[in-house]
Amino acid sequence: MWLAKVRETYGDNLDIDWKPFMLAQVNSQEGPEWKAWEQTEDTATLGLTAFRAGAAAQRQGRKIFEDFQLAMLKARHEDRRDLSDIEAILEIAEGVGLDMAQFREDLADESVLKDVGESHTEAVEKYGVFGVPTFVFPDGNTAFLKTYNPPAEEAVQMFDEISSVMSKWKWVAEVKRPQPPWPRGIFE
């Protein structure tokens, strides 16, 4: 949602190639042979329905996918909707203007979860991704960032400054605020 605020300023000059990455796989206690994207039953923690929907939406183009993704994020994080509920996802898809016949067809296509698995595997093996969001810069430099959604008036400046640090200063391995006091003052 933070990057949606940034896109309002940057427009098409903000080039983001969104890739699925499953935290359920990273956090699994099932062993290395278990793959989240190969499971047949969804749970709120797996998010298979949401990942399947995201991959299906991507097949309709970048712009409509980004609209769908933002609507899904808002539904989950602002409205606290259950995104393992296919009816909720279909409502979101229709609301952003996806071609619903194509969306339903792509949702039923088993290869969409295969695409998710391939994306996840590439992220881990090629870039060392372990969490989200992880930024992969054009030169291959990669950085994970834990942040809260900043106020709209700070979104662009925060993006510019953090992106500069993450992309330029490769030897900065971690910046972490002591607990407490952080995040005191963030949610008041």
What is the per-residue pLDDT across 85-140, written as a single tens digit (0 to 9) for each?
Answer: 999 999 999 999 999 999 999 999 989 999 999 999 999 999 999 999 999 998 88
Are 95 and 71 contacting, i.e. CB atoms less than 8 angstroms apart?
yes
Span 2-128: which CATH code?
A: 1.10.472
For the purposes of burial, counting CB atoms within 10 Å of the CB of 100, is it exposed (0-12), middle (13-18) or buried (19 or more)? Answer: exposed
Give the rounded distance of the alpha carbon of 181 from its chain centre.
Answer: 28
Residue-level pLDDT at 148: 84
Phi-psi region of 98 (alpha: psi -120 to 50; beta: other; left: phi over 0): beta
- Any residues with CB less than 8 A from the CB of 155 and at least 6 apart, and which? 2, 5, 6, 9
* Model confidence at 180: pLDDT above 80: no
Mean pLDDT, range 158-168, rounded to an integer: 93
Q: What is the pTM of this model?
A: 0.86
Using an 8 Å Cβ cutoff, are 93 and 53 in contact? yes
Residue 74 token pair: 């808002």
- The model's confidence at residue 182, banded by pLDDT at 50, 70 and 90, is low
Q: What is the pLDDT of residues 4-18, one digit of tens each?
A: 899 999 998 998 899
Residue 185: its pLDDT value, please?
67
Structure tokens at 142: 């990669």
Helix (H), strand (E) at residue 142: strand 142-144
**Residue in the block written with tokens 């499971």:** 39
